[in-house]
């Protein structure tokens, strides 16, 4: 197979249990045998997706000083701007050809897990930009809900009772990473074509891209 399987989620909310189970089996087989799959008919509004891209593009076009005022290294938790100069703890990473903005479940500063030092939980860092917080928050909410539904599909595929996986997601550390990759002509080193090899945390990684080269 040249590409990961493309799976329609059009029956994700179907009351036809046979249809739903077939979808769950399709997702489960793809995850087990390929490890990666593409989805369509996921129900997330295209206008919201495009608005989120627009917010990200506006932020990354801002002056470096503005972006660095939200630097993740100055945050009390894993939230904020990740500049090109940041290097991951990956042996094969030479230099980065992207910048990013990280956010997650937006919890109050009084959250007990945040207060005891869990750096993957707590409040988000929000740029002082119109519409950014509202748009990106809604996208995070919807993509997180989709991730939960996909986990329910995996429960059904594995023959587990409903909630076996999702009941453990009371306070997920799921993160949304807005990414800006520079074009190849701007790369400083022929080896710096991507992030170093790594494994994401949590159960699933949902990747939305409008460009080739990320699969």
Please tell me the distance from the alpha carbon of residue 188 to that of residue 211, in angstroms, as a whole number. Answer: 21
Residues 58 and 37 placed together within one structural domain of the fold: no
State how far Cα 148 lies from the chain centre. 13
Q: Is residue 158 domain-resident?
A: no
Residues 37 and 51 placed together within one structural domain of the fold: no
Residues 11 and 56 placed together within one structural domain of the fold: no
Q: Which spans in the chain are helix H?
A: 17-33, 46-60, 64-68, 112-115, 132-157
Q: Which spans in 61-131 are helix H?
A: 64-68, 112-115
Residues 173 and 209 placed together within one structural domain of the fold: yes
Task: Judge residue 66's burial from the number of C-beta atoms within 10 Å of its C-beta, 0-12 exposed, 13-18 middle, 19 or more buried.
Answer: middle
Question: Angle 132-157/17-33 helices, nearest 10 degrees?
Answer: 90
Q: Is residue 159 domain-resident?
A: no
Q: Is residue 90 domain-resident?
A: yes
Q: Is residue 122 domain-resident?
A: yes
Residues 11 and 66 placed together within one structural domain of the fold: no
Q: What is the CATH number of the domain that holds 59?
A: 2.60.120.330
Report which of 44, 17, 11 is spatially closest to residue 156, judged by C-alpha positions: 17
Give the domain extent around 202.
Answer: 44-152+166-215
Q: Is residue 160 domain-resident?
A: no
Residues 89 and 130 placed together within one structural domain of the fold: yes
Query: Digits of tens for pLDDT over the chain (215 positions)?
Result: 678 899 999 999 999 999 999 999 999 999 999 999 999 999 999 999 999 999 999 999 999 999 999 999 999 999 999 998 877 676 666 667 789 999 999 999 999 999 999 999 999 999 999 999 999 999 999 999 999 999 999 999 999 999 999 999 889 999 999 999 887 665 555 555 566 677 777 789 999 988 765 54
Residues 51 and 92 placed together within one structural domain of the fold: yes
Residues 17 and 110 placed together within one structural domain of the fold: no
Residues 204 and 193 placed together within one structural domain of the fold: yes
- Cross-strand pairs, 8: 40
Q: pLDDT per residue over 147-189, tens digit each?
A: 999 999 999 999 999 999 999 988 999 999 999 988 766 555 5
Q: Is residue 161 domain-resident?
A: no
- Please count the structural domains in the chain: 2
Q: Is residue 130 domain-resident?
A: yes
CB 108 within 8 A of CB 37: no
Residues 74 and 23 placed together within one structural domain of the fold: no
Residues 215 and 119 placed together within one structural domain of the fold: yes
Burial 101-119 (b: 16+ CB within 10 A, else e): bbbbbebeeebeebeeebe
Q: Are strands 6-8 and 80-82 parallel, antiparallel or unpaired?
A: unpaired
- Beta-carbon contacts of 18 under 8 Å, excluding residues fewer than 6 positions away, are none
Residues 62 and 129 placed together within one structural domain of the fold: yes
């Amino acid at each position: 197979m040249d590409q990961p399987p493309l799976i329609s989620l059009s029956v994700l909310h179907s009351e036809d249990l046979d249809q739903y189970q077939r979808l769950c089996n399709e997702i489960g087989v793809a995850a087990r045998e390929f490890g990666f799959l593409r989805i369509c008919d996921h129900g997330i509004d295209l206008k919201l997706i495009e608005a989120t891209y627009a917010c990200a593009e506006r932020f990354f076009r801002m002056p470096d000083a503005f972006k660095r005022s939200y630097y993740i290294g100055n945050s009390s938790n894993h939230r904020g701007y990740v500049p090109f100069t940041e290097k991951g703890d990956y042996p094969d990473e030479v230099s980065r050809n992207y910048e990013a903005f990280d956010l997650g479940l937006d919890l109050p500063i009084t959250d007990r897990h945040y207060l005891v030092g869990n750096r993957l939980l707590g409040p988000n860092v929000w740029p002082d930009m119109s519409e950014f917080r509202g748009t990106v928050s809604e996208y995070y909410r919807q993509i997180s809900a989709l991730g939960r539904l996909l986990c329910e599909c995996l429960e059904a595929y594995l023959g587990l009772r409903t909630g076996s996986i999702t009941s453990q997601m009371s306070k997920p550390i799921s993160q949304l990473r807005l990414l800006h990759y520079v074009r190849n002509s701007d790369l400083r080193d022929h080896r710096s074509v991507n992030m170093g090899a790594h494994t994401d945390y949590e159960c699933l990684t949902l990747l939305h891209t409008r460009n080739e080269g990320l699969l």
